[in-house]
Amino acid sequence: MGVVHTMVRPGKGAKPKMGDRVTMHYECRLASSGRIVDSSKLKGRAAEFQIGTGRVIEGWDKGVVEMQEGEEAILKVTSDYAYGTSGRPPSIPPNADLDFTCELLAINESMVAASMRVKIEKIALELEDQMVAEAHAEARREAAGEGPELPDEGGARESKKKRKREKADKPEKKHKKSSKRRRDSSSDSESDSSSGSSSSSDSSREKRKRRKEKKHKKSSKKKDKKSCKH
């Protein structure tokens, strides 16, 4: 009867003692059925309490002092160290043995500071895992006889392709420009020839008109002379 402590993941810090203030995530299950009846993560807030002051069940006061900071453990608590004969209605019945999965986040540290520290440690672990994975991948490439992959290798290939496309496009652009110039010059010559022909035709019509006028004047003068003789 009492508390059985089983480590799931070791911690790196010190163990708390009576009177210390701890911050802890927990999940409570009924030992008889395994049903979850309480969880700090579902509530979105870690539990924060002082050990040995009667603020929590006796099973926590006895079990948490056996954990290291950062440790995750399972505390199997019998009913007499939990909620006893009265239980905690409606979720916990009388005389219920409980299994707590606990993670000791911090000792004598505010909840906000503890949460920030845990997040930073998690990010550091993720970065460390990423670096290890990259090192393993590099080792595999070297074992296969491949050179290290350069960060800008893909960009260099893309820029080479782009320069090739630009070179291929240049002759086509020159051909289009020369064709356009030829069309413009031919249209200009056509307009010049058409304007020249129209001006020459106008001048010939003017000459014919003048000849007609001269002939008409001469004939009228002859008529006038004849009339004078009579």
Residue-level pLDDT at 20: 96
Mean pLDDT of 28-45: 96
Q: What is the pLDDT of residue 215?
A: 74
pLDDT at 217: 73
Q: Does residue 129 register a pLDDT over 70? A: yes
Question: Which one is predicted more confidently, 149 or 130?
Answer: 130
Buried b (16+ CB within 10 A) or exposed e, 18-54: eebbbbbbbbbbbeeeeeebbebeeeeebbbbbbbee
Secondary structure of the chain: what % helix, strand, coil (to 5)?
A: 55, 20, 25
Reported as a pLDDT band with limits 50, 70 and 90, residue 165 is confident
- pTM reported for the whole predicted model: 0.51
